[in-house]
Amino acid sequence: MMDGAAKDDRTALAPEAATAFCQRLYENADFYVDYDGPDPARVDRFVMTFPDMTHPTGPDAPGWGKGFLRKRGAAVISLTYAKTNWYQSDGFFAAVEAARDFVAGRAPISAYGASMGGYGAILAGKRLGSDRVIAVSPQFSIEQNVTPFDHRYRAAAAEIGPFIHDVSDQISDEISYFVMHDPTHDLDQRHVDLFPKVAKWHSILQPGSGHGVLEMLIQAGGTDALFRLIMGTGDHLALRQALRAGRRNSPRYIRRIGEFCVALPRRKNLAQVMIGEAERAGMRRLASRWQYGLAERDANVGVARPLEEMLLHIGLPGLGGGGLQAHLASNRAAYGDQGVEYCGDLALGGGAPPDHRWLSEALLSGDMGRLRALRECEVHAPRMMLSDEDLFLEMPYIRRVMFKQFRALFSDVPMRVLVCTQDKRAWQRQFYKHALEMVGRPRSRGVAEHWGHGDSFADFFGRPVIAKLCDWDQMFEEALRCFGAEVVEEIALQPQSNAVDEVLGRLGLRPVTAGRETQGKAGLSDVDAEILRQANAQSAAMRGIMRILLGLPPVAEGPVQIKPRILRKIRSMADELDWSSLQYRENPPLIYDRVAFEGRKDALRALVASICAQSDAT
């Protein structure tokens, strides 16, 4: 989540901001309240901000949105927390009342937050004595018995437990509520629908923004209008007009609306409009992908045939699924002539290469439009094939109603689920390394919430949700129930076998030579996996830079071939790398010794030194 639109720096620092009063107003075991602004006696309006769940924690954490507001001279009261708890502790209202007592009626006060912070702003408004609340994409609750449709925050909900505050009781007829969200984002809209609507409730709709409303707002040039709304010098209609006027400049808006239009055959004219918008915005690669996808779909227009069977490949992850998808997509026509039409993202207008996770992401997010587009595809072969290896991981996190709707769409078609497996211990090693690489990356995946940043192999597979994935018999039974399949076929791969050959053989297809060389990238070595594990456990900075370094070739004669942006990033962070914290530790069944570990660490240090010298020379 953007830091309250703080990344927009077009507005110069206001004169009052240079002579700020900074003081801690209150703290308890859970929350800290700080003031940063001009002399409180001279303030026309205060703004209290509430952080989202990804904001830094602790007593020294910066205030969420403070940079955005202070650059414009606002008087900011920042609430930060010791630990993310969705404001569910007795200390929350005590912290809010401390801010109210500091203001002491000298000026009106606004409450402002996004996502979890939007919930916090609405929850606090009444006790804060606020006259206006600005909430961006707020959740009504994350309790699974209250919002069973939303699994995004299931891990946090399990850790926090039952909510002790009822946000409905804190909504007041005296407060103006300005709630910004994307009405096409199913989950966010369902949360907003649950809030009691008072007379002064105003919805500011931002179609195409998804949950990242502030990102689109910044790109659309709406930050000044947002600031005026927060400060009470502008209204929600002016903000809505600013967003409408500027949304054509938002890459996020263009991408999301364009993907929606391109995915549906009946939206072809609008898809062409969005292709033009993408080209105008300089998003030429995206425009080319969409144009290619439309052309490919048009080229395959012929006599549609009744669908006789659905083939669904769901994993296991790390066993050549990416190579299989790329091969099927690049040879779609040839395999279509043999009776199997591959309907990856390419067939839905997304272009090439195909999106490997589109189906699991659509099911996770509740994107029925994408699924209906799949059903509406004209298929010119008796069998349709889908492939998404993440489905095996995500089945426990997809709402049952989504599986029910998926089954309903294909209720007239027999379904066969394909799962590639190998020796379980060998797969666990590969999956563990894959999880280490995925830590900290933005994902919609439910299972990723449970990947420990620094788990050893034993601790990782000791987690109940991960251990469940290793009970293949149980997972196969769940696949039968979820997809309504007639059979789950296990394709056991031998050490030297190839997923492309094995799957094609099982389907009775003659292999096509073109594209057979397409395979996934090589995985981490055992020693690199251990180094990355320790880096993951330290900090986000160490994790990010180590991922970059492990993907670079070793030091050689001449400059390192690296993008200038990455070169600058490594140089800026080189002095912060704590190499002494990387210590040899055993992590069976990964195989390496002390000599190999220390040698690899020294090689990485030498690589950083070479990059720094290269950067300094340029």
> Could you write out the DSSP letters of every residue in 190-228?
HHHHHS---TTEEEEE-TT-TT-HHHHHHHTT-HHHHHH
What angle in degrees, to the nearest 10, is found between the helix axes of 564-573 and 594-617? 110
Where are any strands of DSSP class E within 307-414?
309-313, 340-342, 383-387
Task: Dihedral sign for Cα 69, 75, 81, 82, please.
Answer: positive
The pair of three-digit structure tokens given for residue 47, joined into one six-digit string: 């703004």
63, 546, 570 from 541: Cα distances, Å: 20, 8, 10
Q: Which residues contact 219 (CB under 8 A, 6 or more apart)?
A: 246, 249, 250, 251, 252, 253
pLDDT number for residue 8: 42
- Identify any residues that bridge with 78 across adjacent strands, giving them in sequence order: 34, 49
Residue 497 CA to residue 517 CA, distance in Å, equals 14
CA–CA distance, 412 with 427 (Å, rounded to integer): 35
| Three-state DSSP state, 289 | helix
At CA 333, angle to CA 330 and CA 334, rounded to 5?
A: 90
Q: Report the pLDDT value the prediction gives residue 17, as an integer from 0 to 100.
A: 45
Residue 7 has pLDDT above 50, yes or no: no
pLDDT at 527: 94
37 forms beta bridges with 21
In single-letter form, the type of residue at position 204 comes to I
Considering only residues 186 and 251, tell me which one the structure prediction assigns the higher pLDDT.
251
- Are the C-beta atoms of residues 312 and 413 closer than 8 Å to each other? no
Q: Is the pTM of this model over 0.85?
A: no
Residues forming a β-bridge with 113: 50, 135
Banded model confidence at residue 306, pLDDT cuts 50, 70, 90: confident
Which ranges constitute the DSSP H helices of 1-153?
66-70, 91-103, 116-128
The pLDDT of 246-267, averaged and rounded, is 82
> What percent of the chain has a predicted confidence (pLDDT) above 70?
87
Given a cut of 70, whether residue 206 has pLDDT beyond it is: yes
Tokens of 254: 């263009």
Q: Please give the order of strands across the beta sheet that includes 487-492.
A: 340-342, 383-387, 309-313, 415-421, 487-492
Give the DSSP H/E element, type plus range, for residue 26: strand 21-27
Per-chain mean pLDDT for the chain: 84
Confidence of residue 5 (pLDDT cuts 50, 70, 90): low
Mean pLDDT value of segment 268-287: 86
Give the pLDDT of residue 518.
46
Mean pLDDT is lowest, of 82-86, 124-128, 360-364, for 360-364
What confidence score (pLDDT) does residue 3 get?
A: 57
d(CA 61, CA 117): 15
Whether the pLDDT of residue 325 is over 80: the answer is: yes
Q: How confident is the model at residue 418 (pLDDT cuts 50, 70, 90)?
A: very high
Q: Which of 277, 281, 285 is nearest to 258 (CA)?
A: 277
In this structure, what token pair is assigned to residue 429? 């090693």
More confident call, 8 vs 145: 145
- CA distances to 47, 65, 226, 259, 561 from 68, rounded to whole Å, are 12, 5, 11, 31, 37
Place of tokens 């300094």: 616
The predicted structure's pLDDT at residue 556: 53
Q: What confidence category does residue 16 fall into, taking pLDDT thresholds of 50, 70 and 90?
A: very low
Do strands 75-81 and 109-114 pair parallel, antiparallel, or not at all (unpaired)? unpaired
Instruction: State how far the Cα of 22 lies from the Cα of 36, in Å rounded to an integer.
Output: 5
**Of 37-41, 279-283, 573-577, which range is least confident?**
573-577
pLDDT at 84 over 80: yes
Q: Helices 540-550 and 594-617: crossing angle, nearest 10°? A: 90
Indicate the pLDDT class of residue 401, thresholds 50, 70 and 90.
confident
Task: Say if residue 37's pLDDT is above 90.
Answer: yes
DSSP code, position 325: H
Residue 346 pLDDT exceeds 50: no
User: Is the confidence at residue 12, as pLDDT, over 80?
Assistant: no
User: Do residues 345 and 358 make contact, with C-beta atoms less than 8 angstroms apart?
Assistant: yes
- Are 290 and 274 in contact, with CB atoms under 8 Å apart? yes
Mean pLDDT (whole number) for 420-437: 89
Q: Looking at the DSSP assignment, which residues form a beta bridge with residue 278?
A: none
Note whether 528 and 458 are within 8 A (CB).
no
Computed from CA positions of residues 57, 63, 64, 68, in that sequence, does the dihedral angle turn out positive or negative? negative
What confidence category does residue 297 fall into, taking pLDDT thresholds of 50, 70 and 90?
low
pLDDT in tens, 59-80: 989 999 999 999 999 999 999 9
Averaged pLDDT, 153-171: 91
Evaluate if residue 321 carries a pLDDT over 50. yes
103's tokens: 């203001």
Residue 417 backbone dihedrals phi, psi, to 5 degrees: -100, 130
Distance CA 429, CA 461 (A): 10
Taking phi over 0 as left and psi of -120 to 50 as alpha, with beta for the rest, 135 belongs to beta
Q: Are 287 and 262 in contact (CB under 8 A)?
A: no
Contact yes or no for 20/38 (Cβ under 8 A): yes
Q: Confidence class of residue 355 from pLDDT cuts 50, 70 and 90?
A: low
Torsion of CA 395, 399, 400, 405, to 10 degrees: -100
Q: What is the mean pLDDT of residues 267-292?
A: 85
Pairing of β 21-27 and β 31-37: antiparallel
Whether residue 574 contacts residue 608, with contact meaning beta carbons closer than 8 Å, is answered with yes
Task: Tell whether the model's pLDDT for residue 519 goes beyond 70.
Answer: no
d(CA 293, CA 599): 47
- What's at 262, amino acid-wise? V
Please say if the pLDDT value at position 263 is more than 90: no
Q: Which amino acid is at 250?
A: S
Counting Cα atoms < 13 Å in the Cβ hemisphere of 130 gives: 34
As a whole number of Å, the end-to-end CA separation of the chain is 34
- Top-confidence range, 92-101, 205-214, 360-369, 482-491: 92-101
Q: For residues 77 and 47, is the Cβ–Cβ distance under 8 A?
A: yes
Q: 423 φ, ψ to 5°?
A: -50, 125
**CA 516 – CA 496 distance, rounded (Å):** 15
